[in-house]
Amino acid sequence: MSSCDTCPSNGSCSTEQKKTCTIENNPLNHVKKIIGVMSGKGGVGKSTVSALLAYELLRNGYKVGLLDADITGPSIPRLVKLQNKRITSSSEKGMTPITAAGGLKVMSTNFLVENEDSPVLWRGPIIGNLVKQFWTDVIWGELDYLIVDMPPGTADVAITVMQSLPMSGIIMVTVPQDMVSMIVSKAVHMAEKMNVPVLGVVENMSYIKCPHCNETIDMFEYSGENFMSENVKILCKLPMSQELIHFGKTGITGVSDDILSEFSSVINVVTDLK
């Protein structure tokens, strides 16, 4: 196995973990923290929250990478305006990620397929290997944070991602619907079982604000607080908003101060990580 020196978990894992660890670290990479964005369910806003998190950290002066680990449904390239890019630079030391506006380093399956809409018809083990390669064979270089947009669900690929990357913590995304919350709580339990701390929950599409009278309308009449375990807290509630729908077109500058200030609790919990 390659050295622990460049591993974000270096110094924090037990002797027992060291014995069973199979994570291969690229000696060129010095990534301080890896943060997963997860939900257990698709369509709740994982990718949007991942991009928002990456850009807000960047705006706070950190060096940030964004890894699209949703191999079969990669949506990060569109969110960061890189949908027409393909990887052109690679050597025996690894592939060079593509740089988005502001210096964000990005890796996605869509940078490797012929066309943006070419499907990836691979089975679980191959997908899992690709995720590992996105860690070992990509030259991320010096990063304060690598944000990982996790695949939906708690099956095969999500498990591989959690086992293959030395994650520092997970931000869980949910919408305030009974059924979604039940599925997301499975993901919370999965992260706990795999010893990855859940840093908190983003309740997305939580409400709508009337553009005329500013009244807040709850969409789903259900609050995630009902199911969250004592040690997993809701960090912020984001509205259903056109600004977030158009994130891929406008970028972070299109997002209002109201939303960014609500989201600052997520930034704080990530930057407070020791």
Ligand X SMILES: Nc1ncnc2c1ncn2[C@@H]1O[C@H](COP(=O)(O)OP(=O)(O)O)[C@@H](O)[C@H]1O
Amino acid occupying residue 114: E
The only residue of 26, 75, 164, 206 in contact with Mg ion, by rule CB under 5 A: 75
Per rule CB under 6 A, is residue 39 in the interface with ligand X? yes
The CA distance from 42 to 223, in Å, is 19
Distance between CA atoms of 207 and 215, rounded to whole angstroms?
10
DSSP state for residue 5 in the 8-state scheme: G
CB 244 within 8 A of CB 205: no
Instruction: Tell me the closest approach of the beta carbon of residue 144 to ligand X, in angstroms.
Output: 23
Q: Does 224 bind ligand X (CB under 6 A)?
A: no
Per-residue buried b or exposed e for 87-109, using 16+ beta carbons within 10 Å of the residue's own CB? eeeeeeebbbbbebeeebbbbbb
Identity of the residue, 44 or 188, whose beta carbon is nearer to ligand X in the bound complex: 44
Site size toward ligand X, by CB under 6 A: 16
CB of 183 to ligand X, least distance (A): 12
Residue 184 binds ligand X, judged by CB under 6 A: no
Task: Considering only the stretches 42-50, 94-102, 111-119, 164-172, report the one whose residues sit in contact with ligand X under the rule CB under 6 A.
Answer: 42-50
3-state secondary structure of 272: coil
Looking at residues 59 to 78 of the shown chain, list those that interact with ligand X (rule: CB under 6 A).
Answer: 75
Q: Locate tokens 């990060």: which residue?
A: 76
Give the separation between CA 244 and CA 124, rounded to whole angstroms.
31
Q: Which residues pair with 61 in a beta bridge?
A: none
Map the footprint of Mg ion across residues 54-73, applying CB under 5 A: 70
Site for Mg ion in 118-147 (CB under 5 A): none
Q: Which is nearer to ligand X, 4 or 219 (CB)?
A: 219
- SS3 track for 188-247: HHHHHHCCCCEEEEEECCCEEECCCCCCEEECCCCCHHHCCCCCCCEEEECCCCHHHHCH
Task: Report, in Å, the least distance between residue 177 CB and ligand X.
Answer: 13
Closest contact distance (angstroms) between CB of 215 and ligand X is: 17
Q: What is the DSSP letter of 265?
A: H
Considering only residues 17 to 46 of the shown chain, the ones binding Mg ion according to CB under 5 A are 46
CB of 117 to ligand X, least distance (A): 16
Contact with ligand X (CB under 6 A): which of 36, 45, 176, 200? 45
Any idea what DSSP says for residue 154?
S
Please name the residue that has the structure tokens 């919408």: 175
Instruction: Determine if 240 is a binding residue for ligand X (CB under 6 A).
Output: yes
Amino acid letter, 118: S
Which stretch, 61-69, 127-135, 153-161, 241-249, contacts ligand X (CB under 6 A)? 241-249
* Residue 216 identity (one-letter amino acid): T
Nearer CB in complex with Mg ion: 46/63: 46
Q: Pick what 44 binds: Mg ion, ligand X, none; C-beta below 5 to 8 Å, kind-dependent.
A: ligand X
Give yes or no for residue 43 binding ligand X (CB under 6 A).
yes
Contact residues for ligand X (CB under 6 A)? 39, 42-48, 75, 204-205, 238, 240-241, 244-245
